[in-house]
Amino acid sequence: MSDLVLDLTVNGDRQRVLVRSNTTLLDLLRDQLGLTGTKAGCDIGDCGACTVRVDGEPRLSCITLAAEVDGRAVTTIEGIGGPELHPVQQAFHEHVAAQCGFCTPGFVVNLVALFEEHPDATDEQITEALGANICRCTGYTKILAAAQQARDAQKAPS
């Protein structure tokens, strides 16, 4: 194992970090950069709680080595929304879809990426995308309703 210096962008900020060669992106974000919105669930790539975006693509940060994101742009839940909630966050709020909240960042990150690529995502595409994330505490009814509202809100003429 060796130390590596990485240069990356996280939520729009340039970062230079020193990591071990076996450090995961999840550990880099949570332990070194203090971005604890990204959750550690299964730690084996099954639950989606750790989902972030790397150059726009959803990635499971628990099974991504930090070294893989050298020179790339990472977006975490902290980088979504701003003064105003993102439409996906707003819909989760209105539908009380953040139930215990543990899985919520992963769902939101995944849905934001889906709707950027497919603004007209069908219910089937939404359901398929949600399959990448596990909610263990309550269920998917409110999460699905929130996702559908977020899709419809972004399609509505402003």
109 binds ligand FES (CB under 6 A): no
Which residue in 6, 29, 47, 114 binds ligand FES (CB under 6 A)?
Answer: 47
* Number of chain residues interacting with ligand FES (CB under 6 A): 22
Sequence-ordered strand ranges (E) for the chain = 3-10, 13-20, 51-54, 57-60, 73-75
Which stretch in 8-16, 88-96, 118-126, 131-139 sits in contact with ligand FES by CB under 6 A?
Answer: 131-139
Q: To the nearest whole angstrom, how small is the minimum distance from the Cβ of residue 28 to ligand FES?
A: 14
Tokens of 75: 């977006």
d(CA 60, CA 25): 9
Which residue in 19, 33, 41, 65 binds ligand FES (CB under 6 A)?
Answer: 41
Q: ∠150-156-158 over CA atoms, to 5°?
A: 115
d(CA 7, CA 125): 34
Tokens of 129: 């995308």
Binding mask 62-81 for ligand FES (x = CB under 6 A): x-------------------
43 binds ligand FES (CB under 6 A): yes
